[in-house]
Each structure stands twice: as structure tokens, then as C-alpha cells.
């Protein structure tokens, strides 16, 4: 796919990985609509990026947004949806565990309602995470939801062809979701990545480069691209 001149909608597009993807697509010449619940947090943006406020769990508002911006060529979602509880499964509040699946429902809403407005050669990218296939203790919720997202994409891929859908699975990434600061933040990331083949946190821009790859490469669909610093091989 030639990005220049295309229209892209990026959910979760005003922070972290989604913001990096929005900026990279804009640099490549796309017109980008960056969507989130709090679009004001994005700060100054290039002229070819506009923002919209929408919660991916609200289907009527989501449908209206798609109709407003139709047709489009690229659909990216990194929106987390709900909370992401951590800790031992046998000690986990089951309401919190269930709530973590808001991410799956949000992705399902985006794909189900957005695909009908997507061009025949369009591309969809969802963002999962490395725990989907290699969970560490305390990551049952992350793993379960990520695995469901990846299974959804593989199941949908043959149904929507020739349009394409892929998943990018990041490892430990330094994003605003992590609230620790200063030396405490650095030490946290050191501990989290100490066993990885690349012992550091990744950047949002590195994940965005993976998102761009599966958009541009027309021979890739129904697959999972790992951008994880060696999480799976550690």
C-alpha cells in the first residue's frame, strides 16, 4: 500500500503507541483522524492529523464517527478499552478480570462497524501484547484478552479479504500508561526487561514502525507481528 494520499483512522491515536502511529502515517502523507476519549492530551499535531472524541465501547457514537469520515483506507486500534488488572488469577477480582475484556469488545466494535466503510484494498491493524502467547505470573488477564484479540484477527482475515487485518504485539514499551517517574521508572523497566534478549523497554515509535510494515506490505494478513525485544525467546 502506498500511504501517501490515504485516509487513516487511529483509535487510541492521541497517546503512546497510537499517537506514534498517527504521526508516522501523517509523515508518510496520509490524512489521519486520531480518536480517543481524551483527544486534548495529544498536544500540538501536524496539519494532516485531526482529532475526534469517542469511546470504542459506545457503538452508536462509533457508527456515527465512521459514517462521518467514510470512506477510508486504514484502520488502526490501540485503544485499551477498560482496566487491565494484574496479579495472581486465584486472588483476582472476577469483575476486574471480566472488565479487562472491554479491550476485546472495543476492538470487535471497531472492526465490525468500520470494515464496511473500508476500501477494497484497505488494511486493519490491532495492537495486542506479548503476554498473549507468553504470560508471566500475574498476567492472566493480559494474556487472555490478548489471545482473544489475536484469535479474532485470524478468524476475520479470510472473511474480509481482499481487505487485510493484522495484529502487532508489543513487549514492554515505555508509554504514558506507566505512571512511575525518574529513577523509579528506569528501575522498573530494567526489572521488567532484564531477561529479554534486548534488555530495555521499547519505544512507541518502534511499535509504530511495525504497524506501518503490516499496512504497507500487501502480502501480509491474519498474522501477528512481534515487536517485543525478545520477550518470546527469553
Q: Which CA distances in Å does 79 have to 31, 110, 200?
A: 19, 10, 24
The pLDDT tens digits along the chain (234 residues) read 999 999 999 999 999 999 999 999 999 999 999 999 999 888 899 999 999 999 999 999 999 999 999 999 999 999 876 677 889 999 999 999 999 999 999 999 999 999 999 999 999 999 999 999 999 999 999 999 999 999 999 999 999 999 999 999 999 998 877 778 788 888 888 888 898 999 999 999 999 999 999 999 999 999 999 999 999 998
CATH of domain 7-227: 3.40.50.720
Q: Which residues contact 31 (CB under 8 A, 6 or more apart)?
A: 6, 7, 8, 48
Query: So where are the chain's domains?
Result: 7-227
What gap in Å lies between CA 98 and CA 82, rounded to an integer? 10
Global model pTM greater than 0.75: yes
Amino acid at each position: 500500500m502506498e500511504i501517501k494520499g490515504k485516509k487513516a483512522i487511529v483509535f487510541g491515536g492521541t497517546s503512546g503507541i497510537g499517537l506514534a502511529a498517527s504521526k508516522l502515517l501523517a509523515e508518510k502523507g496520509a490524512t489521519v483522524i486520531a480518536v480517543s476519549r481524551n483527544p486534548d492530551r495529544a498536544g500540538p499535531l501536524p496539519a494532516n492529523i485531526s482529532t475526534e472524541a469517542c469511546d470504542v465501547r459506545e457503538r452508536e457514537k462509533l457508527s456515527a464517527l465512521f459514517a462521518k469520515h467514510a470512506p477510508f483506507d486504514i484502520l488502526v486500534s490501540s485503544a485499551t478499552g477498560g482496566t487491565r488488572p494484574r496479579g495472581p488469577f486465584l486472588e483476582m477480582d472476577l469483575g476486574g478480570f471480566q472488565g479487562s475484556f472491554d479491550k476485546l469488545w472495543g476492538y470487535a466494535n471497531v472492526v465490525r462497524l468500520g470494515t464496511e466503510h473500508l476500501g477494497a484494498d484497505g488494511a486493519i491493524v490491532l495492537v495486542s501484547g506479548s503476554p498473549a502467547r507468553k504470560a508471566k505470573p500475574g498476567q492472566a488477564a493480559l494474556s487472555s484478552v490478548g489471545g482473544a484479540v489475536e484469535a479474532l484477527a485470524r478468524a476475520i482475515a479470510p472473511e474480509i479479504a481482499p481487505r487485510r487485518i493484522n495484529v502487532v504485539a508489543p513487549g514492554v514499551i515505555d508509554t504514558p500508561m506507566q505512571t512511575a517517574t525518574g529513577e523509579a521508572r528506569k528501575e522498573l523497566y530494567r526489572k521488567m526487561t532484564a531477561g529479554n534478549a534486548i534488555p530495555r523497554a521499547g519505544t512507541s515509535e518502534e511499535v509504530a514502525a511495525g504497524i506501518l510494515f503490516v499496512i504497507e506490505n500487501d502480502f501480509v494478513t491474519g498474522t501477528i507481528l512481534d515487536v517485543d525485544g525478545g520477550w518470546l525467546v527469553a
